[in-house]
Amino acid sequence: MNINTDLLHAHQLHARLTGTYKPEAMAHISPIYQTSTYVLEDFDSAVYLNQHVDEGFVYTRFGSPNCDELEKKIAHLEHAEAAISLASGLGAISTAVLSIVKAGDHVVFGDVIYGCSYTLFAKVLSRLGITYTRVDTSNVQAVADAIQPNTSLVYVETPANPTLKISDIAAISEVVHQHEGITLIVDSTFASPYLQNPLDLGADLVVHSATKYLCGHGTVTAGVIAGSKARIDRCRMPYLQCFGAVLDPFAAWLLMQGMKTLGVRMERHCSNAMKVARFLEKHPKVDRVYYPGLESHPTHEIAKKQMHGGYGGMMSVDIKGGMDAVRKVMNNMKIFSLATSLGNVDSLIQHSPSMSHFDMSPEERHAASIFDGQVRLSIGIEDVEDLIEDLDQALKLV
């Protein structure tokens, strides 16, 4: 089936469970299994399921019918053997990463990635004896040159937060897999499975902050990992088992409802964002627009080759006048909400240097083109003329 049909129907349970269980009612929308534990049939099955938690339901920290349905949907959309859902995007990222690295290993990751992902590598894993090298992952040769004998992980975020830099997943995969024992993880949050499928391009695992486009309505925090069954099993046991970043059944249920409209939402996000980007690119109060759909974006050609159906709803903008201009613009928006998230149906604005990327030093931020006068826009599905008018009236105050 095509993607919009899959979003609505793939792996929809309609209240059916595996085995001999027969529901009393065949609900059109799967019910919420709001329980912490499950009654097991007998001693032998209890022993077996406690040791094979991927084959049934024992305890919600290991899985639930709602999470199982969500995971099958994600695996289907990402063309993966399996997937696992977690309580946040960082829960997914940290679980995926820690299922791979160990003390003494070396990690390569992008010079532009989400601020908390940077903190994980630079300030948490570094305390556990794991070293790292930051590189411009849009430069494949730079990735190749950064690989060391003890490198176990290359971590790529594309499109990157907040400058929307695009990395060539297929080319990086070719470089990475020339070396035995290195895993390639791609954070594809900004694209969603609607616009990009990293596993098809050679990635070993793909992670998403499902809080964002997959949910689309700002109602949950969640994360997902997709890949081979062997890799997902390793993420689940012992890492999810011990870290406890479990997604609760109600959040999984909400995600399933949000994902049904992912396709139509992404079409509108992409369409609106392109029009807003073209407007801002010509605005006299704007120095630069970072949007991969623009021909002026330095990695536009990679995006054109790698992404399908559009370039997403995210962009960053350098406003003339620095921090004072940013403050005036953000305090005078009428439609855009000042909020540190993205991917919602309604439009959001944030100041990346002081919000999502505050943990980086000014020197590190500037080296990554994250400047003090930069705002990040998450373009929603409102009428685009209203969004343009809102941006214009605020910029005129600068």
The per-residue DSSP string of 59-117 comes to: BTTT--HHHHHHHHHHHHHTT-SEEEEESSHHHHHHHHHHTT--TT-EEEEESS--HHH
Q: What is the pLDDT of residue 165?
A: 96
Residues of the chain where predicted confidence (pLDDT) is lower than 70? 13-24
For domain 3-259, give the CATH number.
Answer: 3.40.640.10
User: Phi and psi for 115 in degrees, rounded to 5?
Assistant: -55, -40
**Active site residue ranges:** 61, 114, 187, 212
Distance CA 169, CA 135 (A): 15
The tokens describing 35, both together, are: 């329980």
Distance CA 68, CA 74 (A): 10
The tokens 């925090």 sit on which residue? 221
What region does 48 belong to: left with phi over 0, alpha with psi -120 to 50, or beta? alpha
Q: Residue 67 class from Cβ within 10 Å (0-12 exposed, 13-18 middle, 19+ buried)? A: buried
Distance CA 382, CA 347 (A): 8
Tell me the β-bridge partners of 374. Answer: 318
Q: Which helix (H) or strand (E) holds 327?
A: helix 322-331
Q: What is the pLDDT of residue 356?
A: 75
The tokens 């003329």 sit on which residue? 385
Closest to 11 measured CA to CA, from 57, 75, 55, 63: 75
For domain 262-395, give the CATH number.
Answer: 3.90.1150.10
Q: What is the pLDDT of residue 14?
A: 54
Span(s) in the chain for CATH 3.40.640.10 = 3-259
Helix (H, G, I), strand (E, B) or coil at 231: helix
Cβ neighbours of residue 364 under 8 Å, at least 6 residues apart?
none
Span(s) in the chain for CATH 3.90.1150.10 = 262-395
Q: What is the pLDDT of residue 275?
A: 98
Helix (H, G, I), strand (E, B) or coil at 42: coil
Q: What is the pLDDT of residue 16?
A: 47
Q: What is the pLDDT of residue 17?
A: 47
Tell me the β-bridge partners of 350. Answer: 376
Helix (H, G, I), strand (E, B) or coil at 157: strand
Q: What one-character-per-residue DSSP string does 191-216 give? A: THHHH--GGGGT-SEEEEETTTTTT-
**Cα-to-chain-centroid distance, residue 188:** 5
User: Phi and psi for 184 in degrees, rounded to 5?
Assistant: -110, 115
Burial code (b: 16+ CB inside 10 Å, e: under 16) for 12-26 equals bbebeeeeeeeeeee
